[in-house]
Amino acid sequence: MTDTTQPPTATDDKSGPIARFIRQTEIDTRLLGMLGALAAIWIGFHVYGAVVNGFGAFLTPRNLWNLSVQTSSIGIMATGMVLVIVTRHIDLSVGSVLGFCAIIMGVMQVNILPGILGLGHPLIWIIAIATGLFFGACIGAFQGFLIAYGKIPAFIVTLGGLLVWRGAAFLVARGETISPVDETFALLGGGPYGAIGGVGSWIVGILGVAAVLGLIVFGRRQRKTFGIAQRPVWADGFLATVGCGAVIGAVLLVNSYPWPRGIVRRYAAAEGIEIPPEGLFISHGFAIPVLILVGVAICMTVLMTRTRFGRYVYAIGGNPEAAELAGINVRFMTVKIFALMGFLTGLSAVVASARLGSATNALGTLDELYVIAAAVIGGTSLAGGVGTIYGAILGALVMQSLQTGMVLIGFDAAIQQVVVGSVLVLAVFLDILYRRNSK
């Protein structure tokens, strides 16, 4: 069995410095492309605002902090949608399931639990969330069961779910808005109190830097153990610098966004602190929903890249028949994947309704489209088998940046829809070109 591949070194001298740089750092070129697109969007909106409106509002700590919070809900669901799309399915029901879970949690914490435990009981928010996550996971598992064992296409099952769960959300609360949510629950949606402050953010930042350095050192050790070629030291150094720089930059950014004056005044009065004449600078720090998203992203990345479950997800997407022949229980995997999607939708419902401070049965309307768009813009292939968690989150950030940017510069809703829709199509087209050229 011969094979005609040339050793990789044979092409070294011919490639330019950029290609060599990318190869030696082993950076994903798609990731670079997405970061480039994101930078272009951010700078574009900022400059447009500066030139046309006389004030660039995009690249400010306030806007970027809000952007991070707004991205959380879609981002959490997009990580689950990656698994669904990678296995050649689709989930059109996530927006409605989000609304349903939010209503269930609202009813639990406003109408049911206070009567049993007493108003303001510390367990209320925990039980409410557990109920919401449970319902989300069960709905997902049920839909997955119909798809896997009933052989009904996912498109149909979740299209039905789109209507069913929105209707069910209405029926549960008779169309009423349920508020106010539990005080602790509300923190999970962000806002000045729903952020971890300056010191907390530095602790998170230090953990982040340690993780970046740890991963690089661990990677080198692994490669040494198994005799796989090392990245050059400068390349690892470069990656470490960029990684740590990004973490520290994020901490500096969220810490430079202060609490609004009114809230500082109320807080100072409550705590008996005297406000100095120049004012009191209290940092927001990372918002809790953003930390939830980061936690989800880490868990999902480990799941997809380091566990058998993730390996099977990709294998099923690449060749469902081969996966079955390799002894993978494809149908049960499908149930688990949709259950996970439902669980993440429940989590997203927590963030979305906590942020709103109430639960309405319209919550999450059209979210399915943004979630699918985020995953697809992030490089998840609808043909199956390909997709990454970080890509989906970047995709969510791109979508949200477009939306926020257009609001900031005063585009109306109609133009926003036109732009977001066009960007989705354009992104997929670019992705197809990219794949064709990298073959």
Partner 1 sequence: MTDSNTPLVELKDISISFGGIKAVDHVSVDLYPGEVVGLLGHNGAGKSTLIKCLSGAYQKDAGEILINGHSADIQNPRDARDYNIETIYQTLALADNLDAASNLFLGRELTTAAGLVDDAAMEAETRKIMGRLNPNFQKFSAPVSALSGGQRQSVAIARAVYFNAKILIMDEPTAALGPQETQMVAELIQELKKQDLGIFLIDHDVHQVKQLCDRAAVMKNGKLVGVVKVDEVSTDDILAMIIAGKKPAHLAA
Please give the residue ranges that form the binding site for partner 1 (CB under 8 A): 1-5, 7-8, 222-223, 225-228, 302, 306-308, 311-312, 314-315, 317-319, 321-329, 385-386
Closer of 272 and 327 to partner 1 (Cβ) = 327
Q: Which residues are CB-neighbours of 16 under 8 A, at least 6 positions away?
A: none
Dihedral sign from CA coordinates of 148, 153, 154, 158: negative
Between 221 and 261, CB nearer to partner 1: 221
Q: Tell which phi-psi region holds residue 2, choosing left (phi > 0), alpha (psi between -120 and 50) or beta.
A: beta
- Entry field: residues in the chain: 439
State the nearest-atom distance from the C-beta of 176 to partner 1, in Å.
Answer: 46
Query: Least CB distance from residue 12 to partner 1, whole Å?
Result: 15
Among 71, 342, 96, 102, CA closest to 190: 71
Q: Of 226 and 277, which has the nearer Cβ to partner 1?
A: 226
Minimum distance of partner 1 from residue 225's CB (angstroms): 7
Q: Cβ of residue 35: shortest distance to partner 1, in angstroms? A: 23
Q: How far is the CB of 221 from partner 1 (least distance, A)?
A: 10
SS (H, E, C) 15-33: CCHHHHHHHHHCCCHHHHH
Nearer Cβ to partner 1 (25/177): 25
Minimum Å gap between C-beta 232 and partner 1 is: 17
Nearer to partner 1, 205 or 385 (CB): 385
| Nearer to partner 1 among residue 270 and residue 325 (C-beta) | 325
Whole-number minimum distance, CB 213 to partner 1, in Å? 20
Residue/partner pairs of 54-61 with CB below 8 Å, 24 or more apart: 57/408, 57/409, 58/404, 58/405, 58/408, 61/253, 61/254, 61/256, 61/257
Provide CB contacts within 8 A for 159, sequence distance 6+: 92, 93
Backbone torsions φ then ψ of 180, nearest 5 degrees: -85, 155
H helix runs in 357-412, sequence order: 367-377, 389-408
Q: Spell out a b/e string for 255-280, using b for 16 or more CB atoms within 10 Å of the CB, else e.
A: bbbbbeeeebeebeeeeeeeeeeeee
CB of 81 to partner 1, least distance (A): 18
Indicate the residue among 165 and 314 with the shorter CB distance to partner 1: 314
Tokens of 405: 């940017």
Q: Please, how many CA atoms are within 13 Å of residue 411, restricted to the half-sphere of its CB?
A: 17
How many Cβ atoms are within 10 Å of 127's Cβ, its own excluded? 18
d(CA 143, CA 150): 10
* Residue number, 3 or 274, with CB nearest to partner 1: 3
CA distances from 163 to 98, 100, 159 (A): 12, 11, 7
Nearer to partner 1, 2 or 276 (CB): 2
Q: Which is nearer to partner 1, 3 or 278 (CB)?
A: 3
CB nearer partner 1, residue 18 or residue 229: 229
The least CB distance from residue 105 to partner 1, in Å, is 32
As measured in angstroms, the least distance from the Cβ of 150 to partner 1 is 19
CA 48 to chain centre: 27
- Cα–Cα dist 388/392, whole Å: 6
Q: How far is the CB of 300 from partner 1 (least distance, A)?
A: 14
Residue 150 dihedral angles phi and psi, to the nearest 5°: -90, -10
First to last CA, the chain: 23
